[in-house]
Each structure stands twice: as structure tokens, then as C-alpha cells.
Amino acid sequence: MKNLSKRIDELTNFDYNVLVKGACCMLKIKNLTIGDGIPKICVPMCSANEEQLIKEADEIAAKHVDIAEWRMDHYENVFDIKRVVSFAETLKKHLADTLLLCTFRTGREGGNPIAFDDNLYFDMNKALIKSRHLDMIDLELFMDKLRLKELIATAHIYGVHVIMSNHDFHRTPGKEELMTRLMTMKRMEADILKIAVMPKNEEDLLTLLEVTQQMKSRVPKQAISDDIHGQNERIIVKNQWERFFGWRSTLWENGENRAEWLRAIRKKQVNTAIHYGPSAAAHEQQYYKANVANSLQDGNYHTYSLDWDENNLTISIDNVKFHTFDISSNTYFHDNFYILFNLAVGGAFTGITDINKLTGLKDGQKVNMYIDWVKIL
């Protein structure tokens, strides 16, 4: 929570002298007018458990942040649609006047790399829209187009604003490709068009700005958000126009500091999941992710243990309980089974299929798994 509070303070105390002024349209959502006055601030909520999420929502509301984004792909109960809808209502109450943006970011677009199918994606977002427990929803461009158009139409019927997004964290596509993607979003009648790219040089930055300028004349009614992730800096350019013209670009935080912060977080981050079901295609899973107290990449050995009894699966790290899954009523964990110990890096589940992009082993390197004992009572 200290990190979240510090981050919010950094955003709300931002030095607006670095803004590059231009033209901007206005998109009004309840009491917030996007594109009018100072840039609006959106703070993500990425915790897995509900207690922590509620704490973050309360702090965001206390700081009077404009928009809170609930990253549902990190939520421990994300596969339970009824639970997701119910908890969205809880978050909305705690956020008070802060707008709620709900986002299920897929692994291929930079989200939490959990196993899911397209039906879950569309069913969950549709249920959220119909509940009206949110103000805005993020939908990814590279999903089934017919189902996306239906979902956007449903959102507009229920008064939910749609951000259509696309992310490329490895490069900046060419001007024609960027225009094609944005124009596709326009034709699908999204309210806000978002492109996130990775520029490698000044030419890439100029390409994105040129595309933004061209879109201004072609898209008079949609808002456009260009999120540029640089290697040495992070620039967020938000362009919204409807009746009035102009744009503001915000020079954000130093990218190296952000990268260092992310590396420190990931050294403490642990993911655990249980999978069960009649087949791989029809399986279910429960998922939990959180940070432990100390770094797990400090060069020392660490103990990961699983205690399995008739009611619970309890995961501990260095003899400290990390999480408990309730299996008391789950018949799959009470049948006969085989034990398989597996060590995997990359693959289809993580979305990393290129050996040159693996963060673990490189070609020719080896790894060993040592199991001291297995005791079955």
C-alpha cells in the first residue's frame, strides 16, 4: 500500500509544465470530462485477493484519482463470473466518485498469462456490462470481430464506455499498420481508441505522432490514447476529441527507474494454481499470485512445499504459509492419481515459444530439480 500511495502522490503532484499543449476533444463520463483541463489520472489495481483490492480502492478514492482500472486478469477468482460481477459492485461502492474501468488483459497483450478461452473473455465482459457495476471497459482489438461488435453495441445500450486497445511491446508498427488498426477500432464504434507500442528511436515516436495527427481529421467523435513505452523514458500521449480539437502529451516517469521497480517486484512474486477437470480442454483452475516478504532471486536456496490433506492444499515458501486452496468438496482431488514432477520454462502456456525470448534457460544450458522426499500418508 505504501508503494501505491507513493505512486498516486507522484501522479497527482505531476509537474504540468512539461505538458505539450495542443487540441483536444471532450468525452464526458458522469462527472469527469476527459479532454478538458489537466490530463486525467488512471491508477491500476492488480492485486489478486479481495481484501487488498478493497484497500487499494479506498486509497484511490481518498486520493481523488479520476479513474481506477481493475485488472481482472490478476484476480484470484477470475474464472468465477458471478464472483467477478459481485466484486465489481463492491469495488464501485468503495471507489465512490472515481470511475471504474474493468480490464481483462490477455497474456498475448501483456496481461497475466493465465489459461483461458475466448468464451470466458466474452461472457465475463458481457456479464459485467449488463450489471452496470462499471463505467468503462477495455476490449482488445485482436479478438473475434463479430463478437466484439456485438459486445460494443451491448455496452452502449447499457451506458458503458468502451476503450478498444492493442499492444505491441516489442516494436512500433509502420504508419500504415497503425492507421489500419485505429481505423478498425473506429469502424467498430469504440469510444476511446488505444494503441501501445515500443519505440526504438525518434523516428518511431514521430511515426506515432503523425498517425495521431492524421486520425484527428478522420475520427472526429472518438477519443484516442496512444501509450508509448520507451526504453529510456515513458511517454503517454492522450488525444481525445469530439467537438473541440487539440491534444496533450504527458512526459511520464523515467523508464529505467520503472524497470528497476518492476524487476524488484518480480523477484518477490509467486504464482500458484491448481488445475482439475475431465480433460485438458475442459479443465478448470484456481489461481493465486502475490508477493512474498523477501527476494527469491538472492542466490540462496528456497523451499517450496505443498501440504495436501483431505480438505486443503497449502503452499508454503521458506516454511511460511503462502496460500491455501479449499478442496474439501472437489471430487477430483479425492480420486486415485499419479504424481508428476515437472519443470518448464516458456511454452504455449506462458506465450513464450521463441527460445531467444526465454527469461530462464538458453540453448545448451541445463537445470536440475532436486526433490528431498515425498511422503504419502
List the catalytic residues. 167, 194
Number of C-beta neighbours around residue 30 at 10 A? 10
Tell me which DSSP letter residue 73 carries: G
State how far the Cα of 187 lies from the Cα of 185, in Å rounded to an integer. Answer: 6
Q: Which secondary structure element, helix H or strand E, spans residue 120, and what is its range? A: helix 118-131
Name which of 261, 265, 258 is nearest 236 in CA terms: 258
Q: Which secondary structure element, helix H or strand E, spans residue 162, and what is its range? A: strand 161-168
CA 166 vs. chain centroid, Å, equals: 12
Name which of 114, 88, 83 is nearest 101 in CA terms: 88
How long is the chain?
Answer: 377
User: Which residue is associated with the grid cell 478461452?
Assistant: 117
Residue 240's φ and ψ, nearest 5 degrees, are -125, 130
